Amino acid sequence: MTTRLTGAPVQRTEDRRLLTGAGRFVDDVQVGPQTLHAAVLRSPHAHARIVDIDVDAVLDLEGVHLVWTHEDLAGVSAPLAEPLPLLIPHPALTHGRTQHALARDEVNHVGEAVAFVVADDRYVAEDAVARIRVTWEVLEPVVGLEQARAGERLVHDDVPGNVGARLEQGTADAEQMAAALEAAPHRLALDLEVERSACTPLEGRGTVARWDPDSDRLQVWTSTQTSTGVRAAVAARLGLDLGQVDVITPDVGGGFGVKINHPWPEELLVPAAARVLGRVVKFTEDRREHFVSSAHERGQLQHVEVGFDDEGRLLALDVEFWHDHGAYTPYGLIVPIITSTQLLGPYKPQLYRVVFESLYTNTTMVTPYRGAGRPQGCYAMERTMDAIAAHLGRDRTEVRAANFIQPDEFPYDQGLVFQDGRELEYDSGDYPALLEKAKALVGWDEFETFRAEMAAEGRRVGIGLACYVEGTGVGPYEGAHVHVETSGKVKVATGLTTQGQGHQTVFAQLVADELGCRFEDVEVVTGDTRRMPYAVGTFASRAAVMSGSAIHLAAKRTKEKALRIAADALEADEADLEIVEGSVRVKGSPGSAIDLGTVAVLSNPLRYAFDEASKAATQFSVGDPGRPPVAEDDEPGLEGKDFYSPERATFASGIHAVVVETDPDTAEVTILKYAVVHDCGTLVNPMIVEGQIHGGVAQGVAGALFERMAYDESGQLLNASFMDFLMPYVTEVPDGIDIDHQETPSPLNPLGIKGAGEAGVIPSAAVFAAAIEDAEGIRVTRMPMSPSDLFHLRTDQRQEPTS
Amino acid sequence: MSAEEPHEVHLVVNGTTYDVQVPARRLLSDALRHDLGLTGTHVGCEHGVCGACTVLLDGRPVRACLLLAVTVDGHEVTTVEGLAGPDGTLSAVQEGFRQCHGLQCGFCTPGFLTTVTAGLRENPDPTHEEAREMVAGNLCRCTGYQNIVRAVERAAELGREQA
């Protein structure tokens, strides 16, 4: 009997290529002298009008093939000169603004694309960019949320107060909330702040395009999380039919959200240039470009007012926050909507009201970064929980437990509208059990003994804990196609992309389990619009839930067909058949069997015997001569295709806990222990899920202790390099992360899966703020917390080190 | 405007000699990738911080994005493509990374593999702390390094078994 693969730590099938240098990342495609290379002139100013652009000095440079400014775009294709699309419009986004592929009259952040050059190689293209002369009228920039809120300077002249959107929702209006706060036995107010960080995958953005005049088709390779979205955008903007554009996403060197936005200017300009020049054109972003011209996230100011009873139960929770969305809003309000709705975490306040303003600043735009708005929401809620516990003098875990949604209360409707426009209804979970696991794993109840021991040595330690839920597996849909070749090999295609999450392995596990084929015989292709043209993308921890479910359903259809054909061939009842190790056999009679490859032969009646397999499948040898070779309601081939479209998101959950030591002199924070308990429903591959947690925790540690976007008052990003933006090396992450799993399967999909990709990063700011506060005995309201931040905080709160 | 003056460079990469014509400013990383088609060496930052482009120069790890191709004329370079055996057998380091799930997207992996290959040659039996130190100059955004450190320790074990 075959062992079930779902739940097993199966080794990854994608690794061999990547370990031997045989991976194909976008810059590895079309390498050679025939390929031309693009470079982009980017704005040096945060806010300026373009008075004139002089490209004359570029035109006579040997090796330069093309120079475009905004003026040239309409001549290539009229829609190419229009502002880039606003991908997710929302009624509350009353003043949405997007950039042009090349700036028209004005630039709104350092790094905005201004001119585009194609040359023999990147060196010459950069030489050319350096020769372009722009006459600027420099304007005063708006940098930071406080300046944006003041509204004295405007990012966009026609957006009053820099307010792109204002959205309010909740289970109470302002009047009810005010009354409930007034009536509550206890009341607290908190002002909180989170700074910006960014995804910074090791591979930046990149696009390669080839126009094939013989077939009238455009081929685009791009490092994206959404191949089908890029395809649709390229077709629309270049005036091509969708059927003329293929988008192929090869290996992607990390995404973490930044590659969700599309199209980037270069994703349109590179294909357009390839078509105009009749040559392959490639753009590979460099590191500084990535910092200033892709996207950031996280920056928010928050104000929380909360009323609660003696047990710490939330009676009224009133939250207002201001979200920095940078210069443009191509991805709509997704990030602040998630903050506002996911803020509640595993808790059930009696009344909740949230209002946010999403504000323009003259800085790089903001689109989702792993966690997408949830870290900020978790930070607001968990800081509030800690504040309540401190106010009441109660244990922090008791206050949380008093507010948990109970296991028998699912599905639980929070009375809000989630990011996908659906009701915010949690599907399943068991938060009290998670808390027990977390306390045991981190040693919560024994911590005061440890603290005393450490204090005796003159050492200062603190413990923190933070809970979250994560809406994962959002719709609208994903699809899959499963095809059994006559060789018995099984080809699987799904349209969403992969950025290192082990999709080839996980999806092959699901197919092998459902279809009964050998795991080794399954080959999975992702993100290639030629193989699956209907897809959404890889973000919001949705791949396993969405494509996993679609693949499971497609494999099921394939199996049904295989059993039907095999039943005929074996003269047996379908109900008596099983598929084991790629062979359809009569249960209890293994001698009576037929290989899946042979079933594939039988499924496709042929006219021509072009090889041995097809010889067996000609119309003279297959089927009943009294009936048509392909029945009216059937199709040739052993294939199955299906789509999965959920009613609403699934809700993963978890708790992180950390023990830190703070240095009394240097104010450095050392992580002594990091513990994660989580519930992502059915675990398909625990090795891969743990890998996702490890990576998420590292990014969370980075965001809590190191990473920030250091803008100066003129809107220059001062740390736009890996030398200055402090991404963690191995020396900055915990040496060991303790993990405990819990599985409450989701009732919303056939496999019971919830997503796991982002959870590792969600509670980080909250959990470190709590632990540092606990170690230092001073209030922490602003993250990240560098040693100098902590040093100044000590000084400000007059808590000088005592050692 | 005239094209830049080309320089002839003899590169011995993974045991094969290549003669290429490159301008003086061509980076070794670009020469390997674009002139020789050895795309396993990746460029993550072009300022020597991330380590994705690490190759072995006469056996020692160097950042290929900080070296000009003309300066390594006649030297031996080993890239990730040169780590497996001639029959395709993974090296102990590659095998360690495979077994321990020491990679996710795989973009930084070639730099880790070359770095650890050199590190374990120098110190075949590292302590846990030394294994961490061995990879402390390379950035990975996916794995959180937990499994990379395990991979180094496993590679050391495999290396000792093979010795």
The answer to whether the beta carbons of residues A674 and A697 sit under 8 Å apart is yes
- pLDDT in the model for residue A339: 97
Per-residue confidence at A799, pLDDT binned at 50, 70, 90? low
Q: Which residues of B touch A202 (CB under 8 A)?
A: 42, 44, 50, 52, 105, 107-108, 139-141
- On whether the CB atoms of residues B96 and A8 are closer than 8 A, the answer is no
What is the 8-class DSSP label of residue A101? S
Interface residue of B34, B107, B113 to substitute, partner A, most A CBs within 10 Å: B107
Q: What mean pLDDT is predicted for residues A251-269?
A: 97
CA–CA distance, A586 with A588 (Å, rounded to integer): 6
Judge whether B83 and B112 are in contact, CB under 8 Å.
no
Chain B residues in contact with A24 by the CB 8 A cut-off are 39
Which positions in chain A touch B79 (Cβ < 8 Å)? 21
Distance CA B98, CA A32 (A): 30
Predicted confidence (pLDDT) at residue B1 exceeds the cutoff of 80: no
Q: Chain A: give the shortest CA distance to residue B42, in Å.
A: 8
The whole-angstrom distance between A25's CA and the closest CA on chain B is: 8
User: pLDDT tens, A151-173?
Assistant: 999 999 999 999 999 999 999 99
Inter-residue contact A651 to A471 (CB < 8 Å)? yes
ipTM: 0.97
Round to the nearest angstrom and report the end-to-end CA distance of chain A. Answer: 65
On the question of pLDDT at A514 being above 90, the answer is: yes
Indicate the residue of A27, A287, A698 with minimum beta-carbon distance to B144. A698
Contact: A20, B81; criterion CB under 8 Å: yes
How confident is the model at residue A614, as a pLDDT? Answer: 86
A:B CB pairs within 8 Å:
183
Residue B35 to chain A, least CA–CA distance (Å) = 7
- Give the residue on B whose Cα is nearest the Cα of A15: B98
Q: Closest Cα to residue A672, out of A771, A773, A803?
A: A771
User: Among partner residues B3, B135, B148, which is closest to A63 by beta-carbon distance?
Assistant: B3
A731 touches chain B (CB under 8 A): yes
User: Would you state the pLDDT for residue A613?
Assistant: 85
Task: Label residue A616 by pLDDT band (50, 70, 90).
Answer: confident
> Hunting for tokens 């005061």 — which residue is that?
A448
Chain center to CA of A74? 33
* Mean pLDDT within A756-783: 96
Query: Which of B46, B109, B144 has its CB closest to that of A286?
Result: B46
The Cα-based distances of B72 to A308, B8, B47, B64, B113 in angstroms read 69, 11, 18, 10, 21
- CA of B74, closest CA in chain A: separation in Å? 23
Listed by number, the residues of chain A in 45-64 with a beta carbon closer than 8 Å to a beta carbon of chain B are: 60-63
Q: Please report residues of B whose CB lies closer than 8 A to that of A16.
A: 90, 98
Considering only CB atoms, B136 lies closest to which of A32, A698, A730, namely A730
CATH number of A300-474+647-797: 3.30.365.10
Looking at domain A475-644, its CATH architecture is 2-Layer Sandwich (3.30)
DSSP per residue over A645-666, as a string? Answer: --SS-EEEEEEEEEEEEE-TTT
Domain positions in chain A are 17-23+34-139+205-284, 300-474+647-797, 475-644
pLDDT at residue A588 in the model: 87
DSSP, res A621 = T
Candidates A19, A60, A722; nearest CB to B45: A722
Q: In angstroms, what CA-CA distances link A370 with A152, A382, A545?
A: 33, 19, 17
Helices (H), A477-535: 503-515
pLDDT digits (tens, 9 = 90+) for A702-738: 999 999 999 999 999 999 999 999 999 999 999 999 9
The average pLDDT across A107-116 equals 98
* Closest CA–CA distance from residue A129 to any residue of chain B (Å): 15
Percent of chain A with pLDDT over 70: 99
Mean residue pLDDT across chain A: 96
HEC secondary structure over B140-151: CCCCCCHHHHHH
CB burial string A214-226: b at 16+ within 10 A, e below: eeeebbbbbbbbb
* Cross-chain residue pair B107–A202, CB shorter than 8 Å: yes
Q: Which residue has the higher pLDDT, B154 or A2?
A: B154
CATH 3.40.50.2000 fits A17-23+34-139+205-284, yes or no: no
Q: Do A32 and B37 touch (CB under 8 A)?
A: yes
Q: Which residue among B39, B98, B139 sits closest to A19, beta carbon to beta carbon?
A: B98
pLDDT value of position A2: 57
Q: Is A131 on the interface with B (CB under 8 A)?
A: no
Question: What confidence category does residue A621 fall into, taking pLDDT thresholds of 50, 70 and 90?
Answer: confident
Residue B2 clears pLDDT 70, i.e. is over it: no
pLDDT in tens, B99-123: 999 999 999 999 999 999 999 999 9
User: Is-above-0.90 flag for pTM?
Assistant: yes
- pLDDT-based confidence at A618, cuts 50/70/90? confident
Query: A1: pLDDT confidence band, cut at 50, 70 and 90?
Result: very low
* Average pLDDT of span A471-497: 95
Q: How far is CA A712 from CA A298, A646, A719, in A?
A: 18, 45, 10
Same fold, A300-474+647-797 and A475-644: yes
CA distances for A677 relative to A477, A673, B23, angstroms: 29, 13, 55
Q: Over range A269-298, report the average pLDDT.
A: 97
Q: Is A286 on the interface with B (CB under 8 A)?
A: yes
Cβ pair A261, A225 in contact under 8 A: no
CB nearest to A691's CB, from B81, B113, B147? B147
Domains and CATH numbers, chain B: 7-82 (3.10.20.30), 92-162 (1.10.150.120)
The alpha-carbon gap from B65 to the nearest alpha carbon of chain A, in Å, equals: 12
- For residue B45, the chain A residue with the least C-alpha distance is A287
A120: nearest CA partner in chain B: B3
Say if residue A587's pLDDT is above 60.
yes
**Residues linked to residue A674 through DSSP beta bridges, in sequence order:** A658
Q: Find out whether A237 and A227 touch, Cβ atoms under 8 Å.
A: no
Give one word for A432, left, alpha or beta, with left for phi > 0 and alpha for psi -120 to 50: alpha
Which residue has 């120098």 as its token pair? B122
| Cβ–Cβ gap A203/B98 under 8 Å | no
For residue A19, which residues of chain B lie inside 8 Å, CB to CB? 80, 84, 90, 94, 97-98, 103, 106, 109, 113
The confidence score (pLDDT) of residue B3 equals 63
pLDDT, position A393: 97
Average pLDDT over residues A248-263: 96
Task: Tell me whether residues B105 and A251 touch, CB distance under 8 A.
Answer: yes
Side by side, which strands form the sheet with A589-595?
A: A577-580, A583-586, A589-595
- Residue in A15, A201, A287 closest to B103 by CB: A15
Mean pLDDT of chain B: 96
Q: Which chain B residues have a beta carbon less than 8 Å from that of A723?
A: 47, 49
Question: With an 8 Å Cβ cutoff, are A21 and B80 in contact?
Answer: yes
Chain B's closest residue to A731, CA to CA, is: B136
Radius of gyration of chain A (CA): 28
Q: Among the residues of A651-763, which ranges form H helices?
A: 686-705
Q: How far is B78 from chain A (nearest CA, A)?
A: 12
| Mean local confidence (pLDDT), A467-494 | 96
Average confidence (pLDDT) over A753-779 = 95
Q: Return d(Cα A231, Cα A482) in angstroms, integer.
A: 23
Answer for the pair A248, A220: CB distance below 8 angstroms, yes or no. Answer: yes
Chain A partners within 8 Å of B84 (Cβ) = 19-20
Q: Confidence band (pLDDT; 50, 70, 90) for A149?
A: very high
Q: Which of A508, A401, A362 is nearest to A8 (CA)?
A: A508
Answer whether residue A275 shows pLDDT above 60: yes
**Residue A622: predicted pLDDT:** 78
Is the pLDDT at A803 greater than 80, yes or no?
no
- Evaluate if residue A59 carries a pLDDT over 90: no
A:233-262 residues touching chain B, CB 8 A cutoff: 251-254, 256
Does the pLDDT of residue A547 top 60, yes or no?
yes
pLDDT tens, residue by residue, A374-420: 999 999 999 999 999 999 999 999 999 999 999 999 999 999 998 88
Please list every residue in chain A whose beta carbon sits closer than 8 Å to the beta carbon of residue B45: 287, 721-722
pLDDT band at A590 (very low <50, low <70, confident <90, very high): confident
For strands A669-679 and A738-742, give the pairing.
parallel
**Nearest chain B CA: its distance from A767 CA (Å):** 18
Model pLDDT for residues A664-706, shown as the tens digit of each residue: 999 999 999 999 999 999 999 999 999 999 999 999 999 999 9
Distance CA B103, CA B88 (A): 19
Q: Is the dihedral of CA B63, B64, B66, B72 positive or negative?
A: positive
